[in-house]
Amino acid sequence: MHTILIACESHKQQAQAIADHLKLPLHEVVVTHFADSEISVGLKASAPSLASLHAIVVHSTSYPVNENLVELLLTLQMLKNKGVKKITAVIPYFGYARQDRLQGGESVAGFVLRLLQEAGADSVVTVELHNPNIIDDAPLPVTNIVLTDVIADYIAQQEEQNDLTIIAPDRGALGRVEAIADRLDASTMVYDKERYAVNKTRITASSGTCKTLKGIIVDDIIDTGSTMMQVADKLHDEHSSCHMFAFAVHPVLSGDARRKLQESYFERIWITNTITWDQGTLPDKFVVVDISKYIADSLRTLI
């Protein structure tokens, strides 16, 4: 079965980079916007017949999450209607993944997976899910690309390895942080975080100390930036001589997160391109780490 890549309208760069690594043809979805904000999706007239092909659709459901999710759902349905035989939805940043608590037998994240399946996806490939356990109850196969080795190797290229503490901003991030620290032979430290309202958390206590000169806080997501900022402030209070760095897989960067982080104690903030940000629109402390090769590599067994 021949495989093609399909790029939804936003995140075309992401799809192009993956297509380049895999040396596969890429076709772009064309979105028409109606006056009431409904959309319809199609392919350019020059696109070949897709009947009996395997289509890999690449699209992050990042901000604006609902618009991007609907664009993806309509794209899957359009491909199914065109007779595509197999559809793999590659969703580097999976919006709604944080809504992982079961409510009446299904989480919101699980419900979104069910919508993707209903729309036409045969399987989903995503990156560093907030809670990989949602895969267990998923209605379709989900591959979660874990980047701990990639992050560790990247950090090793940037900073002297013998001088690092890898820091988890909350208990949920500890497994990831321990795996990275193991590979780097670095020490670890973890903070406790409690949520008291939507998008509002407070860092309460820390376990361990940052004995080294450099602390790298690693998390899956920077959304409002509040978690990273609070940890940086606490770390500065406790160890004012510690040089601070942050690594986040998914740079949601809502509101004024970019400005706040630029003005923080962090010296460097590494983010991946699961969500597309042009380096030119980011303040100079931010560095984009391209992970398209690792997504492409994980797709090779499917094509």
Positions touching ligand R5P (CB under 6 A) are 130, 169-170, 172-173, 199, 201, 219-227
DSSP 104-133: TTB-HHHHHHHHHHHHT-SEEEEES-S-GG
User: What is the C-alpha to C-alpha distance for residues 89 and 47, in angstroms, rounded to an integer?
Assistant: 19
Say if residue 81 is exposed, middle or buried (CB neighbours under 10 Å; 0-12, 13-18, 19+).
exposed
Closest distance between ligand R5P and the C-beta of residue 172, in Å?
5
| Alpha helices, DSSP H, located in the chain | 12-22, 65-81, 108-119, 148-158, 174-184, 226-238, 257-262, 292-299
Report in angstroms how near the CB of residue 287 gets to ligand R5P at its nearest: 18
Whether 22 contacts 5, CB under 8 Å: yes
Do 148 and 179 meet the contact criterion of CB atoms below 8 Å apart? yes
Q: Which is nearer to ligand R5P, 125 or 222 (CB)?
A: 222
**Cβ-based nearer residue to ligand R5P, 139 or 172:** 172
State the CB neighbour count (10 A cutoff) for residue 287. Answer: 15
200 carries an active-site annotation:
no
Closer by beta carbon to ligand R5P, 120 or else 169? 169
The answer to whether 261 and 222 have CB atoms below 8 angstroms apart is yes
CB of 270 to ligand R5P, least distance (A): 15
If the CB atoms of residues 22 and 174 are measured against ligand R5P, the closer one turns out to be 174
Q: How far is the CB of 121 from ligand R5P (least distance, A)?
A: 25
Give the residue from 208, 255, 225, 293 showing the smallest Cα distance to 63: 255
Q: Which is nearer to ligand R5P, 57 or 235 (CB)?
A: 235
Minimum gap (Å) between residue 200 Cβ and ligand R5P: 9
Question: Of the listed 12, 80, 86, 193, which one is catalytic?
Answer: 193
List the catalytic residues. Answer: 193
